[in-house]
Chains A and B, each alone.
Chain A
Amino acid sequence: MSTGSIRIKGLSHSYGATAVLKDIHLDVSPGEFVAIVGPSGSGKSTLLSLLSGYLKPTSGVLERTGTTRTVHQADGLYPWLTVEGNLALGLPKLDAASKRRAVSDMVGRIGLAGFEKSFPHALSGGMRQRVEIGRALCGGTDVLMLDEPFSALDYLTRLKMRGELCRLLEDQPRTVILVTHDIEEATQLADRVLVLSERPASIVYELKIDVPRPRDVTAPGVVDATKAVLKAMGYEP
């Protein structure tokens, strides 16, 4: 099992004069599933871009080990490649025969047998996200970044996708960072939930959830965690 770790110390980031992130401290150990939630515009996506290496922080320390791949909100698949072609992108180092085997194995895992030759525009939103997750998991990625991966899907599909993600991670454990504004998604999936403040954002609340996965969305541990996170975000029913 190869999984990466992340260490962030005193990290700040600003776009010109606009400070977005302020003094973030975060340690993610190998195999841990961390969810980051926060109000919109709080800098969740900026934090993810920094973690993925798309951006360089203005100041502070950010150390990563292992390879990182991001699953995007929508349209992260290359539309000119088939399901197979997109999955094969994740396996650049294999020879043709082992690549075919690995791709067909992943097609089975994500439940898309029969759709190997389909182009993304012919798939449903849920199927597309399954391919994207599969692509990101191919080839032994260490850190999986999930950037609101299910937010473009309907509620029931979202619930199903959470289950599928758990199943895939059980077979192939990874370090996972999930950025979402869906609190329930965070508490159902993560080992640890971090709450960001308004801009300039820092981590204002942290909750460990010691309930084994897969968890039901209505499990008491998940519901309690959801309540606690909502309260930390200032939501009073």
Chain B
Amino acid sequence: MDTKHIRNSINSWLYPSLTFGTLLLIWWLASARGYLSEQFFPTPAAFVTGFREELASGSLFRDTLASLSRVAAGYALSVAVGVPLGMILGTVLGARLALLPLLNFLRSLSPLAWIPFAIFWIGIGHGAVIFLIVIAALPTIALSTMAAVAGIPKVYFRVAQDYDLKGLQRLTRVIFPAILPQLVTTLRVAMGLCWLVMVAGEMLAGNTGLGYLIHDANNGLRLDLIVVGMVVIGLLGMLCDRLLMFLTRLPGIRWGYDR
């Protein structure tokens, strides 16, 4: 590693730390000087106390686990169905004509509009939140996978024809690798979406989880716990995105970013 590399990697930690550090300082100063009333926002000290309290009781762990497992289940289901569906939509005209308007309709409809039915059909809890995540993420994943397939250069299909890649081979050895870089972007966007919907879903159709933690804290006017929930949700969301970003370094995917 040359010095430029080292400097870049130091900066990639230093700069964000400065941003967050400044925000924390402003928060602390504003609370300490009394500009920020405790009725409107908790003090850093209250936040730390609340955080410890949640940690010690084990409920923060349980809520985090509940939220993570719902996002994982909803996300996995959406990807497992959405990516193949998108590839079919991108290659089969009939499927596109039949399903595109429906998917666009679903995508334009806020998933939160489904909350009454989610509760009505499935009942408050795990299932309802997973349902909401899937109904939000699946159309998005399918549509952007389809768009990625539509954007594959024609020459790749000609090459496939010359080299006898037909049917399933064409799908797995040409279409799928060709869309992989864009698919990673899709997966990151979809992950963000799942995370958003999870919070809203848990607030209205859940009885555990980080979203519910915020909802419950709101009812009890525990502003400190609201912020605890917000911080954990934000940090975990960032972490998930980071993990997906590692995919862009894989050799079969990197080409989409390097040229």
Contacts and interface: CB of A to CB of B under 8 A. Distances in A.
Interface string A73-111: 001101111000000011010000000000000000000
A121 B155 contact: no
Interface string B235-259: 0000000000000000111111011
A120 B162 CA distance: 19
B119 interface: no
A160 to B, nearest CB: 24
Contact of A121 (B158, B161, B259): B259
Indicate the member of A52, A119, A122 with the most B CB atoms within 10 Å: A119
Contacts of A52: 158, 162
A76 B158 CA distance: 9
Given A75-B155, A76-B155, A78-B177, A54 B255 contact: no
Contacts of B162: 52, 68-70, 136
B199 interface: no
Interface residues of A, number: 21
Contacts of B159: 70, 72, 76, 78, 89
A41 interface: no
Given A52-B158, A75-B155, A120 B164 contact: no
B163 interface: yes
Interface string B150-193: 00010110110111110000000010011010000000000000
A204 to B, nearest CB: 28
A119 B251 contact: yes
Given A78-B174, A80-B180, A92 B163 contact: yes
Contacts of A121: 255, 258-259
A53 interface: yes
Nearest to A73: B155
Nearest to B255: A79
Q: Decide if the interface of chain A is mainly helix, strand, loop or mixed.
A: loop
Given A76-B159, A79-B255, A92 B164 contact: yes
A219 B256 CA distance: 44
A80 B155 contact: no
Given A78-B156, A78-B177, A89 B163 contact: yes
A132 to B, nearest CB: 9
A121 B254 CA distance: 10
Contact of B255 (A69, A92, A119): A119
Nearest to A121: B259
A75 B153 contact: yes
A81 B163 CA distance: 14
A222 B153 CA distance: 36
A207 B255 CA distance: 44
Given A78-B174, A89-B163, A54 B251 contact: no
A75 B158 CA distance: 12
Contacts of A136: 162
Contact of B155 (A69, A72, A119): A72
B161 to A, nearest CB: 7
Contacts of B155: 72, 75-76
Interface in B109-159: 153, 155-156, 158-159
B177 A54 contact: no
B158 A90 contact: no
A108 to B, nearest CB: 21
Contacts of B177: 78, 80-81
Contacts of A120: 255
Contact of A79 (B158, B163, B165, B259): B259
A85 B159 CA distance: 14
7 contacts: A72-B158, A72-B159, A78-B156, A80-B180, A89-B165, A121-B255, A121-B259
Given A68-B162, A79-B256, 18 more contacts: A52-B158, A53-B161, A72-B155, A72-B159, A75-B153, A76-B155, A76-B158, A78-B174, A78-B177, A79-B255, A80-B177, A80-B178, A80-B255, A81-B177, A89-B163, A92-B164, A119-B251, A121-B258
